[in-house]
Homo-oligomer: A and B are copies of this chain.
Amino acid sequence: MARVYNFSAGPAMLPEPVLSRARDEMLEWRGSGMCVAEMSHRGKEFMSIAAQAEADLRELLAVPSNYKVLFLQGGASTQFAAIPMNLLRGAASADYLNTGSWSKKAISEARRYGQVHVAASTEAERFTRAPGQDELTLSDDAAYVHYTPNETIEGVEFPYVPDVGDKPLVADMSSTILSRPIDVSRFGLIYAGAQKNIGPAGLVIVIVREDLLGQTLPATPTMLDYKVQADNDSMYNTPPTYAWYLAGLVFEWLKGIGGLQAMGKINARKAELLYKTIDDSGFFKNPVEPASRSWMNVPFTLANPELDDTFIKEAKAANLTTLKGHRSVGGMRASIYNAMPIEGVEALVGFMQEFERKHG
């Protein structure tokens, strides 16, 4: 079997040049006599790999110098606790926007550490759009405002960055980071699990403004204290070295294709092609309001849900895999992250049109 087009929501496809490099360097990284996974994290070889990865990420996202970039573990779900623990900073409450399944998880965990004011919710509309700026009911005493720019499960993406005045804006960018340029200075903290657009699962990146560090809740585990991690360059203990290295290879690949401006154009074309196919069809349907449609995660349903299994099966036979929708939503979902080439989306679109002709 050849390599497939894998539409998994994460862990997801990695760029083939990255995998080839990793394969070629598996037994020995550049004359070091060892695999990167075997290197002491405090040795000069790994330190250079780690520093280069951070520098490349900073360059890609144009991270201002008053932000720390942390390479941590535990996924976004661990950050759901770490964020209130680090950012409540004496305040009793925080504002959260409720725009999908991952927002809800973040809210539920934050409630264990402080009060959560839901400053907007689209739950009554089954999370089929992002709320507008004028719908946000921000509170004066909130320590920060949290939102999920792209909801992986519902396929809803904010078409704008909320204006939250002088409050720190906190964003779970797990499924959108690096998909296009962003203005980091608009945010107090950005976090992202790696397993969609960064690298393998087991790494989570936190980009945090320095003035927000250093005032944690008393029960905060030392490993979840951003200041401790920042002061130790993410090496308070042994970091996930091999995942960090693979992320670095992804950053290098992104730079090679022209950075986020170029990547954003490719992603826009991929998303446009897929949504147009869905909208032009009488057979496939995406429930999300067009202005809020995700570039990365495209859920869609078939006119006849009894054909779902046939769709999955025939798609797999055509080397198009992991298209089943999340159990909470049903139908299909095509995740088309950075590493999914336009050829993969073209193949999917061709398959969908053929499927409609055959079964529609």
Q: Which residues of A contact B (CB under 8 A)?
A: 1-4, 6, 8-14, 16, 19-20, 22-23, 26-28, 31-35, 37-41, 43, 73-78, 80-82, 85, 109, 112-113, 193, 195, 199-203, 217-219, 221-224, 236-243, 246, 319, 321-322
Q: In the complex, which residues of chain B have a beta carbon less than 8 angstroms from the beta carbon of A223? A: 74-75, 77-78, 81
Q: Is the interface of A mostly helix, strand, loop or mixed?
A: loop
Q: In the complex, which residues of chain B have a beta carbon less than 8 angstroms from the beta carbon of A39? A: 8, 11
Q: In the complex, which residues of chain B have a beta carbon less than 8 angstroms from the beta carbon of A23? A: 23, 26-27
C-alpha spacing A2/B202, complex, angstroms: 30
Q: In the complex, which residues of chain B have a beta carbon less than 8 angstroms from the beta carbon of A203? A: 202
A38 with B14, Cβ < 8 A, contacts A242-B201, A242-B243 known: yes
C-alpha spacing A2/B27, complex, angstroms: 9
Most B CB contacts (10 A, CB to CB) among A14, A20, A81, A221 go to A221
Which of B6, B34, B85, B224 has a CB less than 8 Å from the CB of A33?
B6
C-alpha spacing A75/B240, complex, angstroms: 9
Give the top 8 A-B pairs by smallest Cβ distance, nearest first: A202-B240, A4-B33, A81-B221, A219-B219, A23-B26, A77-B237, A73-B73, A37-B200
Find out whether the CB atom of A37 lies under 8 angstroms from the CB atom of B238.
Answer: no
